[in-house]
Amino acid sequence: MEFNEKQIQILEIAERLFAENGFSGTSVRQISKEAGINIAMISYYFGSKEKMLESLLLYRTGDFKMELQAILTKDNNFLTAVDEVVALVIQKIHQNRRTYKIIHFEYSNENRNIVFESYIEDKRANYFQIEEFVKRGQDAGIFTQNITTNLIMPTVLGTYFHFYYNKRFFKDLNNLNEEDSIENFVYQTLTPHVQRTIKALLTYEA
């Protein structure tokens, strides 16, 4: 789905407000005020606040499935592909951490009447792609047979989110003073650590 410049502006403002105040704590009026538009325009573009959140998920995560597929299907050795997948996942979640914060909170709220069907379908498709990739690696004798494939992605995500949601602690622990230092740590230290971890899980015969 393609979004025009005005829609993207509205979505980015909504993303910030949802992340700061929560979905229920953010009104359409607030979003329209911050965006400098009338409420009717939000209704015209998205229909409702719930539909706006669905559009935000598509905007932020829609291209991931294709990028993942491009890595997993190109002519590359298996361990290089693992490094590229881990780097892609961490880059995406770090760049879109506000959206993922919203997703995790709202999806876990069973009382919230928000349809995540498209997001879940894409997520399931991504897991199937990884499962097929691991199976090919096992058939090639590169990966061990003792792998819980569905826990690979949570291992990557869990490491990143534990670091980021506790970044005040880790900034002190690793002497990270500026935001640039956080960026450097994510890409130059955390990413290689997770790459080594996932490759060890895939290749170590326990």
Q: What is the pLDDT of residue 114?
A: 63
Mean pLDDT of the region 134-157: 94
**Residue 119 burial (CB count, 10 A):** 19
Q: Please report how many Cα atoms fall inside a 13 Å half-sphere around the Cα of residue 194, on the Cβ side.
A: 29
What's the rounded Cα separation, in Å, for the pair 182 and 141?
38
| Amino acid letter for position 66 | M
Range of weakest confidence among 24-38, 41-55, 100-114, 177-191 = 100-114
Is there a contact between 28 and 7 (Cβ–Cβ < 8 Å)? no
More confident residue, 37 or 192: 192
What's the rounded Cα separation, in Å, for the pair 72 and 68?
6
Cβ-based neighbours of 194, under 8 Å, separated by 6 or more = 86, 90, 155, 156, 159, 160
Q: What is the pLDDT of residue 111?
A: 64
Cβ-based neighbours of 132, under 8 Å, separated by 6 or more = 72
Question: Residue 203's pLDDT band (boundaries 50, 70, 90)?
Answer: very high
- pTM for this prediction: 0.79
- Nearest CA-CA partner of 144 in 82, 199, 202: 202
If residue 18 lies in a helix (H) or strand (E), which one and from where to where?
helix 5-21
Domains (range + CATH), the chain:
5-58 (1.10.10.60), 62-203 (1.10.357)
Q: What is the mean pLDDT of the chain?
A: 87
DSSP-derived secondary structure letter, 159: H
Is a pLDDT exceeding 70 seen at residue 158? yes
Question: DSSP for 86-147?
Answer: HHHHHHHHHHTHHHHHHHHHHHT-TT-----HHHHHHHHHHHHHHHHHHHHHHHTTSS-S--
Cβ-based neighbours of 51, under 8 Å, separated by 6 or more = none
8, 20, 42 from 27: Cα distances, Å: 18, 12, 11
Is a pLDDT exceeding 80 seen at residue 87? yes
Question: Residue 73's pLDDT band (boundaries 50, 70, 90)?
Answer: confident
Mean pLDDT of the region 10-26: 87
DSSP-derived secondary structure letter, 149: G
